[in-house]
Structure 1
Amino acid sequence: MKRLFRALTALVVLAAGAACSATPAAAPTATVPPATATSLPATAVPTAIPVAAGVQLGDVALGGMTPEAARAVIEQYAGALQQPFELVVGEQRLTIAPDDIGLRIDSAALLDEALAAPATARISPEPTYDEAALTALLDGLAEAARLPTSSTLIADTDVISASFVVSGGARLDVAGARQAIAERLAAGMPLGTIELALVPLTPAEMHPEPAALQQALEALAARWGDVAGVYVYDLAREREIAAVHARTVFNAASTIKTAVMLNAYLSLESFDDDQDRAMKRMIEQSDNLAANDLMSWSVGWPGTEGAIKGADVMSDRLAALGLEQTYLYTAYESADFVRQNGITLRAGPEQAGEPPYTSTGRYLRTTPYEMAQLYRMIDECARGTGILLERHGDMLSAGRCQEMLERLALNEDTTRMVAGLPPGIVAQHKSGWIDDMHADAGIVRSPGGDYVVSIYLFRPAAPGTAVSDRVMRETIAGFSRLVYSYFNPTVAAE
């Protein structure tokens, strides 16, 4: 046994030596049997990792599926969600195609999420779509499906006045509809047909239809008998609501002092004490000579001649803003000065604007429409936007325009527009009157919405007489009350 062990050992040593020798010829030669060829094992193909057990996409089970199987299911699932759907509101129907709102579901991303998800995880489809496009479609549907408020006009038989009483009305809750669609998509539910309900209008939403205000204003204007010009603009909705003879030209009287104020702000970077006091007197007490002072300061030219020059500059600025029928070509109370000094004034045409025509003179004019636009411009500027900042941003700012509105709120005349408003309602306005014309124009800040209103009344007077101030004032108050009640109607008891 020992000899066998030694022999095997020697054989191993000899084999090792033969393998390591640098010169094979010097080593003993051993007979080695020929090697038998053997095949190498094939390279293993990795087994696809399936979706973890219990993973779900919405209510669809993906657990245990291969990637290919899961991909097929996910694509079918996404396709089912990306189908046209229908919205139904009462008798109104709207079909929305996926492309209408850019509806997309990323199947590849869902597959990656499913393969990476732990056991029993639930993943959601997370669709993407254009919310603005969906909202625009819902707004259109809401407009079509809206049930209008029923309104009744209560007329006063003693004075020219009327007010609205409203009831009923319903609308589509656009935000709620948008949320319902989003929740269905997020839950992976095919949209199909979605029935949406109308909700009752709140008292704050119960406005009469604009046509009702238009008819009511026309009726009051007919009761006035002579020429009444009225213009109403909804600041919140940014739209004209009603207009009666809004482009008829009237004598602007002191309503143009709002333009005088704006011109001063466009000309002077700040006001000294004298200028500030003049501004207060002009707006709060309608002081004519204070208006002349501001027009002369605006061009740096003292006295009445400077005021006339300032009025010309202001009128050109107004025309550049598109207010071509709103101008003042002279100074207040300057007839004697003009005659004694042989001054030739600019003058408008004998007849301007649209019919019916009024006796305006040729030097101081406006229309209800244009005066309302002036207030709109100042309000836009106070909110940091609009033509005044675009054209005159070097002199104006939102703060300076807000300051103008605050000055207008201090107008001491409460016998015209303000007399038609409930106590405590803010009116930023300027009134004006001469023998045959009374007017008031401005912005009213009300619970039911802010609006611009301009009211001009003309009634020719016999030579040497004047139309009763009381009649003019009460009629303007009546128009003001009617417009206020459109935005803030009385809600009928159920």
Structure 2
Amino acid sequence: MNRRSSPGAGQWFTVVILVGTSLFLLIKLFQFASLRGNYPTGLTVAGVTVGGLSPGEATNVLTNRYIEAPVIIYHGQDRFEISPADAEFELDLEAMLSRADIERTQQDFWAGFWGFLWGEPVEVTPVELSATHNREALRRVLADISALMDEPTQPAQPVPGTFSFQYGETGTITNIEASFADIEGALYRASNREARLIVEPSNPERPQINLLTRLLVNSLQDYEQITGGAASMFVMDLNSGVDEIAINADLPMSGMDLLKLPIVLETYRLLDQEPTLTQSSWISSTLSADLGNEGANQLLRFVAGQDDPRLGAELVTQTMQRLGLVNTFIVLPYDSDPPAGTVRPSTPANSTEEVRTLPNPYLQTTAEDMGTLLSMLYYCAEGKGGTLMAVFEGDISQTECQTMLAFMLQNKIGSLIEEGVPQETAVAHRHGWISDTHGDAGIVFSPGGDYVIVQFLYKPDWLEWEISSPLLANLSRATYNYFNFDNPYLADARTN
């Protein structure tokens, strides 16, 4: 039997496999060695794969993904592209690539080669993003978008001819502070660099008192231009105690029946017990009805402590002075002629160069004085202290203040302040009129807040009721509607 001396096919196949494998491994080993200066397979820097890249190539890729790629910001449906440079966004490439080099140099050669062969990382720690930005610079960018896209709120406005106000229109406002988290998140992402601004509705604010002031001023100026007369008005928000309107409120005006209120106040200050039935009748007629002036003059006699109403008037005036109401005085009782030599008191109001209103020389006040007195009475009745309680401690009580207001609430005339508010609204007021001057001063207890309103109109020689009554009612309506903005009194305004 002959034995074959040459290798068989199987042996040749094995040799080929071994040689081929060796050549493949040698080639791959050479490739791996030549790429040994690049970053290891699977390494990520700031979420970007840089395996197999040189530091220069990695720098280009990171710059492209983070610096050159814009961030998309949505304001509602509107799309804006901003450059990261606008937010002064900067990559700390040196720090990140330094950590990447550490990963490269610390990797075991043969473990790295094995990962290179299979395309899988072996014990490679990702390098986290290291970057900074300037929040104030970003804020300026967002503020520019906000200024361009936000819709301003339209403020409330008077409704022409109605003495009421209409709601303003809702706008939009960008909440920049609340938007930072989403936008900065997009800025620090390598992909999906989109974010949304938080856009909120901007509701119109309740109208400020200057809106009511404009409406009142316009109406009173029209009256003065048409009639050649003078108008004076004072409004105070009793809830805030600080918001007020004073339109010619320091003009001296004839006191008329409005100054019966200080007479009753002085009466209660001097009473050391409940008023008698007769005294109560005098108080009622003085505050709540047009039954002549006898009740007021009788109270002046009580104040004087003798049958001298003129002395009582002097004492009432002194009380007004103590309260700081320096423009208010009563020299004579009602329906009396001045004795020879009677001198008109001088006040800051009537000492100006030109007094346009020709007030009664012996019975004067101003809208501001009357409004201030009413506010004192209100706070006393509400148990909130105030000037009356401070100046006349122990001489005037909360119950007495409440009683005075109760009498004034019975003063029903159906016009002037009352006509400008709903019938069910409580109005504690005292009105008065003479040939050339009409006025009303009161406290309105409305659902939207309590307030003082004092109105005076003067016209030389004769003031027609057809002129004064609708105007004073309309001004009262405008004031009521300001304080009750959400539920205005929409009765048809009377025309002058």
Give the TM-score normalised by structure 2. 0.57
Describe the superposition over 1:211-268 as per-residue Cα deviations: whole angstroms up to 9, x where unpaired.
2111111100111122111111111111233221011111111111111111111111
Structure 1 Cα separation of the partners of residues 278 and 422 of structure 2: 35
Structure 2 Cα separation of the partners of residues 171 and 356 of structure 1: 51
RMSD of aligned Cα (Å): 2.8
- Seen in structure 2, the aligned counterparts of structure 1 residues 325 and 152 have a Cα distance that, compared at 3 Å, is same
What is the percent sequence identity of the aligned residues? 26
Match of 2:345 among 344, 347, 357: 347
SS in 2 for 1:322: coil
Match of 1:266 among 256, 265, 269: 269
Higher relative contact order (CA 8 A, sep 6+): 1
Structure 2 Cα separation of the partners of residues 238 and 351 of structure 1: 27
Q: Does 1:291 align with 2:292?
A: no
Which residue of structure 1 lines up, in the alignment, with residue 415 of structure 2? 415
Which residue of structure 2 lines up, in the alignment, with residue 441 of structure 1? 441
Q: Is the 8 A contact 2:481 2:487 kept in 1?
A: no
- Seen in structure 2, the aligned counterparts of structure 1 residues 223 and 266 have a Cα distance that, compared at 3 Å, is same
Q: Is the 8 A contact 1:278 1:291 kept in 2?
A: yes
| Unaligned residue ranges in structure 1 (runs of 5+) | 1-146, 173-194
Describe the superposition over 1:28-49 as per-residue Cα deviations: whole angstroms up to 9, x where unpaired.
xxxxxxxxxxxxxxxxxxxxxx
Match of 1:279 among 258, 283, 289: 283
Q: Is the 8 A contact 1:249 1:353 kept in 2?
A: no
- Seen in structure 2, the aligned counterparts of structure 1 residues 362 and 171 have a Cα distance that, compared at 3 Å, is farther
Which residue of structure 2 lines up, in the alignment, with residue 24 of structure 1? none
Q: How many residues align?
A: 305
Q: Does 1:380 align with 2:379?
A: yes
Which residue of structure 2 lines up, in the alignment, with residue 325 of structure 1? 327
Of structures 1 and 2, the larger Rg is shown by 2
Which residue of structure 1 lines up, in the alignment, with residue 395 of structure 2? 395
Structure 1 residue 198 displacement after superposition: 7.5
- Seen in structure 2, the aligned counterparts of structure 1 residues 150 and 281 have a Cα distance that, compared at 3 Å, is same
Q: Is the 8 A contact 1:207 1:486 kept in 2?
A: no
SS in 1 for 2:454: strand
Equivalent AA in structure 2 for residue 307 of structure 1: P
Q: Is the 8 A contact 2:234 2:368 kept in 1?
A: yes
| Unaligned residue ranges in structure 2 (runs of 5+) | 1-151, 174-197, 489-496
Q: Is the 8 A contact 2:153 2:168 kept in 1?
A: no
- Seen in structure 2, the aligned counterparts of structure 1 residues 491 and 412 have a Cα distance that, compared at 3 Å, is closer
Q: Is the 8 A contact 2:157 2:211 kept in 1?
A: no
- Seen in structure 2, the aligned counterparts of structure 1 residues 400 and 169 have a Cα distance that, compared at 3 Å, is farther
Structure 1 residue 470 displacement after superposition: 2.8
Q: Is the 8 A contact 2:234 2:245 kept in 1?
A: yes
Equivalent AA in structure 2 for residue 209 of structure 1: Q
Which residue of structure 2 lines up, in the alignment, with residue 240 of structure 1? 243
SS in 1 for 2:469: helix
Structure 2 Cα separation of the partners of residues 309 and 210 of structure 1: 42
Q: Is the 8 A contact 1:425 1:446 kept in 2?
A: yes
Structure 2 Cα separation of the partners of residues 478 and 404 of structure 1: 27
Structure 2 Cα separation of the partners of residues 318 and 171 of structure 1: 52
Which residue of structure 1 lines up, in the alignment, with residue 40 of structure 2? none
Structure 1 Cα separation of the partners of residues 438 and 404 of structure 2: 23
- Seen in structure 2, the aligned counterparts of structure 1 residues 420 and 261 have a Cα distance that, compared at 3 Å, is same
Match of 1:481 among 462, 477, 484: 477
Structure 1 Cα separation of the partners of residues 216 and 421 of structure 2: 17
- Seen in structure 2, the aligned counterparts of structure 1 residues 168 and 491 have a Cα distance that, compared at 3 Å, is farther
Describe the superposition over 1:358-402 as per-residue Cα deviations: whole angstroms up to 9, x where unpaired.
110321111111110000111111122111111212221111111
